[in-house]
A and B are shown apart, each in its own frame.
Chain A
Amino acid sequence: MSFEKEIKKYENFDLDGYFNNLIEKDIENALDSDYQDLFQFLTRLSPLAENYIEEMAQLAHGITKQYFGKTIQLYTPMYLSNFCINQCLYCGFNTTNKIERKKLTLQEVKNEAAYIAKTGLKHILILSGESREKSPLSYIKDCIEILNEYFTSISIEIYPLKQNEYRELIDAGIDGLTIYQEVYDKTIYNKVHVSGPKNDYLFRLETPERACKAGIRTVNIGTLFGLNKWEKEALFLALHAKYIQDNYPDVEVSVSIPRIRPHSGNFNLTHEVRDINLVQFILNFRIFLPRVGITLSTRESAALRDNLLPLGITKMSAGSSTSVGGHTIRDNSNQFDISDDRDVDEMRGMLLAKGYQPVLKDWWY
């Protein structure tokens, strides 16, 4: 059993042809139906469905309120290391980029942890570039041991691991995995992942499943909007989330929908994702998979994030920095530029003002 089989079914699906055959009645039916399937989801992603965006928003808002309440879980990323042996065209940590490379010492990890913990956050996401030499599993485990003292939930966004390695990290104290496929289209995937272990499409595709089999609690998957036609990636991402939910029912699934941001590389994005498309995805994903979380990172501007809030978002980052040691040490070698630099207090204030409860703690390890 693998998601690869599932994705193959739709690899050559003629999305444009499907969209071209739709009439307004189809959109209306897809909005009214109590039973949601993949094709209704696709129907609502069509250009024609843009005319129904407000109806979709009302529906998605109601569903989100019912299943999640007016609550938003907050977390912050902590970058451990930017050493990386991959050459990914869209990423600031690209091995060929001339940036200052740094890995936090365990003392620095402790400093960052203490600094972040003071904000009241209990959920931390640790990130690292792919270098088993510079940031081996033993180093990650040492960091987790320190973070256990400060946080009640630790998620990782590091290089893909084997199933037994996930088990080791779960035993050490992690409960969540974030892993983006970046782009589900295999041809584009191979083109933008020029060299390094990340070039292995299938190993990355099956990463969430290995973590699920190892007993992880939460899995957050994502696609980097902009690398491919967004509707196609939306289809695969929804399919992937549904696949994990159906096959690993005890795992809490969520998705991220980052759009490409400026970074220290020289890759030009080729596919435009307009704000309305991002909204269209969020709304329809919520309608299609009501209980799956949607994470919104600081790649989007503060104003847009505030407006997206009631549409289906369940998790947001706060006080973000995408550089190694960025919470306590200042430098410019970030993975990508963030657009919302509000700290935890500001985010809490904004949420409360908008009638949302900020949730700083949602698991107790």
Chain B
Amino acid sequence: MEDMLIIAGQKIRNRLLIGTGKFPDKKIITDVLTHSNADIVTVALRRVDLNSNEENILNYIPDQCTLMPNTSGARNAEESIRIARLARASGCGNWIKIEVISDSKYLLPDNIETLKATEVLAKEDFIVLPYMSPDLTIARMLVEAGAAAVMPLGAPIGSNRGLKTKELVKIMIEVIDVPVIVDAGIGKPSEAMECMELGCDAVLVNTAIATAQDPVGMSKAFSDAVKAGRLAYLSGLGRLSENGKSSSPLTGFLYE
């Protein structure tokens, strides 16, 4: 049976989700999404210009991709709710990645306001994917409020620091029933692979791809790393051990 990620009933083949900010040219976005076979792509609604063909970022996204607009720029629940409604009204579909950031220095999400927005938008039949600081209690509340997945950060947005929140994300994977997607902070394919080996359902990457010398090449590298990490997870990784394990065990005689 093919291994698929399912979010709100939709089957997703590629567990690498891609963000569209920071690219040196919007045309590169099309190449990246095509070559990495991306299924889910997130776009900041603040950057969407429906009035212009050339400037409208949506025109650079291949048809096979599911669009997940995000509420980047929102500083509280109210602003993110307004942006989400605007996104749906503009024909951007039902998916929404809630991003509420009231800290312009570290760009860390506001979990409380994110929860408020999730409560409102889930009731309005949005497919809500909240970006969050990895906190188990809030994650449970988000699921209770109707989140279709939770998206804990690995490290601050754009920091390329990797999965610094590993222990917290690991607990979320164990406990939370909806997909856990690591979003933000992943700087290298090996780090994306680490997330997947841990049991994350998917990874969202933007900066590391968009600012690479060769964004298309980097997107392929990430896509392969995510696949490899997933396969390793499904195949069952060995337990970690401080010492070498003898293949001629000391108690083997008991069974001879």
Would you call A17 an interface residue if the criterion is a C-beta within 8 Å of the partner chain's C-beta atoms?
no
**Chain A residues closer than 8 Å to B158, beta-carbon distance:** 66-67
In B81-134, the 8 Å CB interface with A consists of 83, 86, 102-105, 107
**Chain A residues closer than 8 Å to B107, beta-carbon distance:** 291
Q: Give per-residue flags for A230-248: 1 if the beta carbon is below 8 A from chain B beta carbons, else 0.
A: 0000000000000001100
Kindly provide the distance from the CB of B227 to the nearest chain A CB, expressed in whole angstroms: 26
Tell me whether A357 and B26 are in contact (CB under 8 A). Answer: yes
Would you call A65 an interface residue if the criterion is a C-beta within 8 Å of the partner chain's C-beta atoms?
yes
**Chain A residues closer than 8 Å to B25, beta-carbon distance:** 352, 355, 357
CB contact between B22 and one of A70, A291, A352, A364 (< 8 Å): that residue: A70
Alpha-carbon distance between A251 and B107 when the two chains are bound, in angstroms: 11
Tell me whether A361 and B104 are in contact (CB under 8 A). Answer: no
Tell me whether B210 and A363 are in contact (CB under 8 A). Answer: no
Alpha-carbon distance between A164 and B46 when the two chains are bound, in angstroms: 27
**Chain B residues closer than 8 Å to A71, beta-carbon distance:** 21-24
Would you call B52 an interface residue if the criterion is a C-beta within 8 Å of the partner chain's C-beta atoms?
yes
**Chain B residues closer than 8 Å to A360, beta-carbon distance:** 49, 52, 55
In A56-90, the 8 Å CB interface with B consists of 65-71
Q: Which residues of B contact A (CB under 8 A)?
A: 21-26, 45-49, 52, 54-55, 73, 75, 83, 86, 102-105, 107, 158-160, 207, 210-211
**Chain A residues closer than 8 Å to B83, beta-carbon distance:** 364
Alpha-carbon distance between A120 and B56 when the two chains are bound, in angstroms: 10
**Chain A residues closer than 8 Å to B24, beta-carbon distance:** 69-71, 355-357
Would you call A359 an interface residue if the criterion is a C-beta within 8 Å of the partner chain's C-beta atoms?
yes
CB contact between B49 and one of A245, A250, A291, A361 (< 8 Å): that residue: A361
CB contact between B46 and one of A69, A291, A355, A362 (< 8 Å): that residue: A362
Which residue on chain A has the smallest CB distance to residue B52? A120
Tell me whether B47 and A253 are in contact (CB under 8 A). Answer: no
Which residue on chain A has the smallest CB distance to residue B28? A357
In A24-72, the 8 Å CB interface with B consists of 65-71
9 residue pairs, one from A and one from B, having the closest CB atoms: A69-B22, A70-B24, A250-B102, A249-B103, A361-B49, A250-B75, A355-B24, A65-B211, A252-B104
With contacts A357-B26, A361-B49, A364-B46 taken as known, whether A291 is within 8 angstroms of B210 at the C-beta atoms is: no
Which residue on chain A has the smallest CB distance to residue B187? A66
Would you call A103 an interface residue if the criterion is a C-beta within 8 Å of the partner chain's C-beta atoms?
no
CB contact between A249 and one of B52, B102, B211 (< 8 Å): that residue: B102
Kindly provide the distance from the CB of A238 to the nearest chain B CB, expressed in whole angstroms: 14
**Chain B residues closer than 8 Å to A68, beta-carbon distance:** 22
With contacts A66-B160, A245-B105 taken as known, whether A364 is within 8 angstroms of B55 at the C-beta atoms is: no
Q: Which residues of A contact B (CB under 8 A)?
A: 65-71, 120, 122, 217, 245-246, 249-253, 291, 352, 355-357, 359-364
Kindly provide the distance from the CB of A120 to the nearest chain B CB, expressed in whole angstroms: 5
**Chain B residues closer than 8 Å to A355, beta-carbon distance:** 24-25
Alpha-carbon distance between A90 and B86 when the two chains are bound, in angstroms: 45
Tell me whether A251 and B104 are in contact (CB under 8 A). Answer: yes
**Chain B residues closer than 8 Å to A70, beta-carbon distance:** 22-24, 211
- Other A-B contacts than A217-B75, A357-B26, A360-B55, 10 sampled, CB-CB below 8 A, are A66-B160, A67-B158, A70-B23, A120-B49, A120-B52, A122-B49, A291-B107, A357-B24, A361-B46, A361-B47
Alpha-carbon distance between A122 and B104 when the two chains are bound, in angstroms: 22
With contacts A70-B22, A355-B24 taken as known, whether A362 is within 8 angstroms of B47 at the C-beta atoms is: yes
**Chain A residues closer than 8 Å to B102, beta-carbon distance:** 249-250
**Chain B residues closer than 8 Å to A67, beta-carbon distance:** 158
Tell me whether A249 and B105 are in contact (CB under 8 A). Answer: yes
Kindly provide the distance from the CB of A294 to the nearest chain B CB, expressed in whole angstroms: 14
Tell me whether A291 and B55 are in contact (CB under 8 A). Answer: no
Tell me whether B23 and A364 are in contact (CB under 8 A). Answer: no
Alpha-carbon distance between A122 and B49 when the two chains are bound, in angstroms: 9
Alpha-carbon distance between A96 and B104 when the two chains are bound, in angstroms: 42
Alpha-carbon distance between A265 and B141 when the two chains are bound, in angstroms: 63
Tell me whether A250 and B23 are in contact (CB under 8 A). Answer: no
